[in-house]
């Protein structure tokens, strides 16, 4: 890790050089992301989160006479996107 910052006349040159230097490890990260185990874990997490969202949405709709259901859906979508 560099302990100093070098000013460069071209914007984002440091980011581009770092990406070119680490290209092989980035390529392996993306190729490992489409492995069967990773896709299975992704599907499991999706359904684990969506079932909680549906259940909470149904209870919320029942308790509030369908007035806060859209807000709950937006909140669940934002939490799913962040996690």
How would DSSP label each residue in the chain?
--SS----SSTTHHHHHHHHHTHHHHHHHHHHHTSHHHHHHHHHHHHHHHHHHHHHHHHHHHHHTTSSHHHHHHHHHHHHHH-
Determine the average pLDDT of the residues in 78-82: 80
**Which residue range(s) make up the domain with 67?**
33-82
Q: Within a domain: residue 16? A: no
More confident residue, 7 or 78: 78
| Number of domains present in the structure of the chain | 1
Tens digit of each residue's pLDDT (9 = 90 or more) over 11-37: 777 788 888 888 888 888 888 888 899
Structure tokens at 77: 């979508």
Q: Within a domain: residue 56? A: yes
Answer whether 66's CB lies under 8 Å from 78's CB.
no
Answer whether 32's CB lies under 8 Å from 38's CB.
yes
Structure tokens at 56: 């909470």
- Per-residue pLDDT at 40 exceeds 90: yes
pLDDT at position 26: 81
Q: Within a domain: residue 10? A: no
Q: Within a domain: residue 47? A: yes
pLDDT at position 4: 59
Q: Within a domain: residue 25? A: no
Q: Within a domain: residue 12? A: no
């Amino acid at each position: 890790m560099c302990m100093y910052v070098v000013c460069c006349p071209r914007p984002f040159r440091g980011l581009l050089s770092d990406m070119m230097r680490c290209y092989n490890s980035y390529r392996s990260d993306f190729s490992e992301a489409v492995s069967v185990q990773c896709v299975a874990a992704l599907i499991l997490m999706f359904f684990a989160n969506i079932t909680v969202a549906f259940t909470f949405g149904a209870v919320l709709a029942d308790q509030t006479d369908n007035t806060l259901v859209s807000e709950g859906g937006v909140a669940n979508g934002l939490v799913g996107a962040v996690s």
